[in-house]
Amino acid sequence: MKTVVLKFGGTSVGSIDRIKKICKIIAFYKKKRNKVVVISSAMSGVTNELVKKSKSISNNFDKAEYDALLSTGEQVSCALIAGRLNHIGLKSRSWMSWQLPIVTEGPYSSSRISRVVVKELNNYLRQGGIPVITGFQGINNKFRLTTIGRSGSDATAIMLAKFIKAEDCIIYTDVDGVYTADPKQYKKAKKISKIYYDEMLEMASLGSKVMQPTSVQDAKLNNIDIKVKSSFILRPGTLITGSKKNFSDQIITGISSTKNDAKITIVGVKDKPGVAASIFKPLSNNLINVDMVVQNISQNGQDTDLTFTIKSDDLKKTEKLIQQNRNITYKKLTFDKNVSKVSIIGVGMITTPGITFRMFQALASKKINILVISTSEIKISVLISSKNVKKAIAALHKEFNLN
């Protein structure tokens, strides 16, 4: 008997009607004589509402209470799923993370799952039951509820698959797989049938929200194949794997883009050792994530310009921290709130020269100005004006024959 882990995202359980539909998918796997474990997200929009509520109570909401609050959405969807499965004649019950428990480590809001106790689950599966488990949450060594980062139910599914030794882990979502670009943003995007962990990790980290980055990392570390499928239509999905079997010879696998980035330039900052560290230390202390960084070569040997990007939500705080920083002097601070990072990703890049040139030329031919560039072995990212993102994706899609 095979064990399958099925994870349903927010839109897949977004209404009573949707919950009834996904229960049919669960019943299908059960009928095929599998042991079925279900992980669910909160109904779509619920977690965002909870975030809003916490902000209207306090802009300094206690971190542990914040996780206790945010984890409530999953309890609702799981109980509704189990209730519906019972209604259609299947043995099922819900499990909150603390009831198993799912043990986490690390700070509130971005904990990582370290262990899942599966004894009770195994007993229940042996009796033919379908456990429905809350994604996105766990408990820490203080017995407090924790959450594992937004979109974290993906990671719960993968860690459950690891600890229960499942043969299959299927992520059911509102698109029928991983596409060459976000299909909602670019209609000509094509479905990818197979993608390497490393490529998926880059795509996820660079803005393709179909999979949460941590979950892909967990899958890679534990060598767990992931299937991404639609809960709306019956179609083959995408396999995320480390196996080299049956891959196409595409150089570029996909294109990702970000939203809500901001660029900051500190003009005329002293060019001496330790300046960059002095600038970034207070940002790091305030948990502000700095992404792309460029420093111009000093023209006069005395001062230079430093440009970096952050999330726009952090802009006000960053501006304040730089202005209050007594360890640096500079002439001017400039900001641009409307920038996005567009990246091309593919392991084929390692063995194919000239990709950077082709990317830049494709953007130049559409008169798209590149503000900042960063590269790794399997990706090239450029920062451009947000208004040009769609045009850039189309040009790159064409240049690298992804259409």
Pick out residues in 47-76 that bind ligand ASP (CB under 6 A): 47, 73
Tell me which of ligand ASP, Mg ion, ligand ADP, none is bound by residue 213, counting a contact when its beta carbon lies within the kind-specific cut-off of 5 to 8 angstroms: none
Site string for ligand ASP, 324-363 (x = CB under 6 A): ----------------------------------------
Nearer Cβ to Mg ion (9/131) = 9
Which segment (87-95, 98-106, 173-181, 384-392) binds ligand ADP by CB under 6 A? Answer: 173-181
304 to 333, contacts with ligand ADP by CB under 6 A?
none
Shortest Å, Cβ 136 to ligand ASP: 4
Q: What is the smallest separation between the CB atom of 193 and Mg ion, expressed in angstroms? A: 20
Identify which range of 15-23, 144-152, 256-264, 275-283 contacts ligand ASP by CB under 6 A. Answer: 144-152
CB-nearer residue toward Mg ion: 112 or 397: 112
Tokens of 75: 């309890």
Binding of Mg ion at residue 215 (CB under 5 A)?
no
Say whether residue 138 binds ligand ASP (CB under 6 A).
Answer: no
SS3 assignment, position 161: helix
Residue 43 binding result from Mg ion, ligand ADP, ligand ASP, none, given CB thresholds of 5 to 8 Å by partner type: none
DSSP string, 113-158: EEEE--HHHHHHHHTT-EEEEESSEEE-TTS-EEE-STTTHHHHHH
Closest CA to 146 of 46, 66, 214: 66
3-state SS class at 181: coil
Q: How far is the CB of 148 from Mg ion (least distance, A)?
A: 12
Pick from 261, 21, 50, 40: which is nearest to 171 by CA?
40
Other CB atoms within 10 A of residue 299 CB: 10
Query: Which residues, other chains included, contact 355 with Cβ-Cβ below 8 Å and sequence gap of 6+?
Result: 251, 252, 344, 349, 380
Helix (H) or strand (E) holding 315: helix 315-324
Nearer to ligand ASP, 111 or 304 (CB): 111
One residue of 183, 319, 356, 375 binding ligand ADP per CB under 6 A:
183
Residue 151 to residue 387: CA distance in whole angstroms: 27
Q: What residues contact residue 251 under an 8 Å CB cut-off, 6+ apart?
A: 346, 348, 349, 352, 355, 400
| Contacted by 135, from ligand ADP, Mg ion, ligand ASP, none: CB < 5 to 8 Å by type | ligand ASP
- Lay out the site mask for ligand ADP across 251-270 (x = CB under 6 A, - = otherwise): ---x----------------
343, 355, 354: which is closest to 389 by C-alpha? 343
Contact 317, 366 (CB under 8 A): no
User: From Mg ion, ligand ADP, ligand ASP, none, which one binds at residue 150 (CB under 5 to 8 Å depending on kind)?
Assistant: ligand ASP
297/300 Cα distance (integer angstroms): 9
354, with CB counted inside 10 A (0-12, 13-18, 19+), is exposed
- Select from 6, 37, 42, 219 the one that contacts ligand ASP (CB under 6 A): 42
Cβ-closest position to ligand ADP:
9
Pairing mode, strands 92-95 and 130-134: parallel
The interface with ligand ADP within residues 3-32 (CB under 6 A) comprises 9-12
Q: Which stretch binds ligand ADP (CB under 6 A): 18-26, 59-67, 132-140, 178-186?
A: 178-186
Interaction between residue 155 and ligand ADP (CB under 6 A) = no
CA distance 13 to 74: 10
Residue 237 found at the interface with ligand ASP (CB under 6 A) = no
Could you say which residues in the range 129-168 bind Mg ion, by CB under 5 A? 151
Nearest of 265, 253, 252 to residue 339 by alpha carbon: 265
- Measured at the CA of 239, the angle between CA 237 and CA 243, to 5 degrees, comes to 160
Contacting ligand ASP (CB under 6 A), which of 14, 152, 207, 237? 152
Instruction: Report which of 261, 47, 26, 14 is spatially closest to residue 151, judged by C-alpha positions.
Output: 47
Does 135 interact with ligand ADP (rule: CB under 6 A)?
no
The residues of the shown chain that bind ligand ASP, judged by CB under 6 A, are 9-10, 41-42, 47, 73, 135-136, 150-153
The residues of the shown chain that bind ligand ADP, judged by CB under 6 A, are 9-12, 41, 151, 173-175, 178-179, 181-184, 208-210, 254
